[in-house]
Amino acid sequence: MIPPHERRILEAHVRGIKLSKLALETRELNEYETSQLRELIKLRVRGVPLQYLTGTQAFYGRDFYVNTGVLIPRPETEGLVERVLSLLPPPVPGARLRGLELGTGSGCIALTLALERPDLWITATECESAALAVAEENAARLRVGNVDFLAVSESPAEWQYGELPELDFLVSNPPYLVRADAIAADVLEHEPHQALFVSEEDPIFFYRFLMDLMEHKVKARGFGAFEIAEQRGGAIMELARSRGFGVEIFKDLAGRDRYAVVRKP
Ligand SMILES: C[S@@+](CC[C@H](N)C(=O)[O-])C[C@H]1O[C@@H](n2cnc3c(N)ncnc32)[C@H](O)[C@@H]1O
């Protein structure tokens, strides 16, 4: 059994209509739709996230296509987008601000920022080709023209970023969990591990690389905004300070340390 509202979401998906139109629907499901719905319910009972079954997740008021190659965009990541928007200077006619997102996944961060601020140009990097294909699909569906995508290798290396001009800001929600962290079983079983996990020996590995990019690629007085694991706020503050950057940690709506904002002097 699944909750009634989930059944309705799946039925609307099978019918190819919006959930808001389902109550007005009087036509019985045909044989094909009935068996499709039954299949989807079976998968849901086994714990497959609803978003992978419908192929969509809302993020910052827009629908993003998702499949099992990408992390399902999370509400707390909307908070990261909010933070970047609040840090950007107001648009200046004729001027473009340059940003870089490391680890774009579905593209939810870079594409949302690009749509909210057409004066930005954002390069979005990703090491998984399946994820890059999803981000590109979302860029096409949402008609975003001010993001480009860069395929990079799994081991981050600065030379891969060598061609980029100087940046005004960095943004990233990098893999930040270690196996010992408490993780819900359905997340662990169904979402891509390369999007979730970093090595236990060096949980702030990606932040160290992001600080290297801050140092070498970001303009003076530029900033970086990063999503973090709540238990790593202290280590990330120390890391940023040791590189001579200003740093502040902010909480998400659940009151957990979730965002690090790093500023270049
Ligand atoms: C936590 S997910 C975030 C996805 C998306 N930005 C979001 O917020 O929903 C991290 C992403 O980083 C990608 N990734 C992992 N290592 C990477 C690397 N070295 N360079 C670029 N992307 C990487 C993963 O494949 C995954 O898509």
pLDDT for 163 equals: 82
Which pLDDT does position 158 carry in this prediction? 83
Per-residue pLDDT band for 58 (boundaries 50, 70, 90) equals very high
How confident is the model over 133-155, as a mean pLDDT?
97
pLDDT at residue 179 in the model: 84
What digits encode the pLDDT tens for the residues 152-184?
Answer: 999 998 888 888 899 999 999 999 988 888 888
Instruction: Return the pLDDT at 162.
Output: 81
Considering only CA atoms, which of 208, 201, 206 is closest in space to residue 175?
Answer: 206
Judged against a pLDDT cut of 90, whether residue 215 lies above it is answered with yes
Please write the tens of the pLDDT for every residue from 221-261: 999 999 999 999 999 999 999 999 999 999 999 999 999 99
As given in the structure block, the two tokens for residue 88 are: 């950007």
Cβ within 8 Å of residue 113, ≥6 positions away: 81, 84, 85, 99, 101, 120, 122, 171
pLDDT score for 159: 83
pLDDT digits (tens, 9 = 90+) for 9-45: 999 999 999 999 999 999 999 999 999 999 999 999 9
Half-sphere exposure of 47 (CA within 13 A, CB side): 8
Interval between CA 126 and ligand 1 midpoint (Å):
6
The DSSP 8-state label assigned to residue 197 in this structure reads B
**Mean pLDDT, all residues of the chain:** 95
Whether residue 151 contacts residue 129, with contact meaning beta carbons closer than 8 Å, is answered with yes
- Give residue 184's pLDDT: 87
Q: Which residue has the tokens 């719905």?
A: 37
Q: What is the mean pLDDT of residues 48-52?
A: 96
DSSP helix/strand/coil, 59: strand
Pocket of ligand 1 (CB under 6 A): 71, 73, 77, 102-106, 108-109, 125-128, 131, 152, 154, 156, 173-175, 194-195
Q: Which domains does the chain have, with CATH numbers?
A: 4-46 (no CATH), 56-263 (3.40.50.150)
CA distances, 30 to each of 35, 36, 92, 256 (Å): 9, 10, 55, 47
The pLDDT tens digits for 60-88 are 999 999 999 999 999 999 999 999 999 99
User: Would you say 239 and 188 are in contact if contact means Cβ atoms under 8 Å apart?
Assistant: no
Nearest CA to ligand 1 atom 11: 103
What is the Cα–Cα distance from 69 to 83, expressed in whole angstroms? 27
Instruction: Out of 173, 196, 259, give the residue to mutate to test ligand 1, the one with the largest number of ligand atoms within 8 Å of its CB.
Output: 173
111-137, pLDDT tens digit by residue?
Answer: 999 999 999 999 999 999 999 999 999
